[in-house]
Amino acid sequence: KEMDVRVYRDNKIYYMDFERGHIKTEMKLLDEPMRLKRGTIVHFAPDPDIFRETIVFDYRTLASRIRELAFLNKGLRLSITDKRVDPVKNESFMYEGGIAEYVKFLNKNKQPLFPEPVYVEGEENGIQVEVALQYTDAVAEILMSFANNIHTHEGGTHETGFKMALTRIINDYAKKKGILKDSDDPLSGEDVREGITAIVSIK
């Protein structure tokens, strides 16, 4: 329905607002105290003509997503405040361990087979890749993949590549250590992912 944006940059505050998709106030400089050294503040009210199902935001849904974003961006602090209730509800999320802490969070009610998740990161052709994984005594697998902080529910080449690499590495290790004989059938992807909790993130 309406939205205003404040951008804090170079000790200046740039302001612009909109109403029903149209510019209401062209961008201008504001003469007011700096609330941030650098960053952006956006206020908006949803339009009931567009969001016809509901314009009431669910706190738990938003808090869950903000927590997830904090896991995916290690060292970044994200906060959520709900002023609709009394007392005001506020939570802040920040994880120095990033997706490795996300794996531990997902496994909090399980029995891990080793204390700390395996974590690797790298960059290739300008694409940052992070992977964290930990095995538990559970049977089911949890594999979550993300591209630019968006959960890729239907997978993608990044998730497929991880599955193939994990299967190949574990089979190679099993053969090298004599766990698998040359005459044995290789372990399947389902075999090596049993009980795994893994996060794959690319940006």
Q: pLDDT tens for residues 28-49?
A: 999 988 888 888 999 998 988 8
127-135/2-9 β-pairing: unpaired
Q: Which residue type is seen at 134?
A: Q
Confidence at residue 39, expressed as pLDDT on a 0 to 100 scale = 87
Confidence at residue 34, expressed as pLDDT on a 0 to 100 scale = 83
Torsion of CA 32, 34, 35, 40, to 10 degrees: 100
How far apart are the C-alpha atoms of 78 and 46, rounded to whole Å?
22
Q: Is the pLDDT of residue 68 over 90?
A: yes
Q: Is the pLDDT of residue 141 over 90?
A: yes
Closest to 99 (Cα-Cα) out of 199, 203, 31: 199
Question: How buried is residue 17: exposed, middle or buried, by Cβ count under 10 Å (0-12/13-18/19+)?
Answer: middle
Predicted model pTM: 0.82
Confidence at residue 49, expressed as pLDDT on a 0 to 100 scale = 87
Are the CB atoms for 66 and 82 separated by under 8 Å? no
How far apart are the C-alpha atoms of 136 and 73, rounded to whole Å?
25
Domain residue limits, the chain: 1-56, 59-96, 99-202
pLDDT, tens digit, for every residue of 149-200? 999 999 899 999 999 999 999 999 999 999 999 889 999 999 999 999 999 9
The structural architecture, per CATH, of the domain 99-202 is 2-Layer Sandwich (3.30)
Helix intervals (H) in 73-156: 99-106
Tokens 């089911």 map to which residue? 140
For residue 58, how far is the Cα from the chain centroid? 19
Mean pLDDT for the chain?
93
Are the CB atoms for 72 and 128 separated by under 8 Å? no
Neighbours of 136 (CB within 10 A): 21
142-147/196-202 β-pairing: parallel
Confidence at residue 53, expressed as pLDDT on a 0 to 100 scale = 85
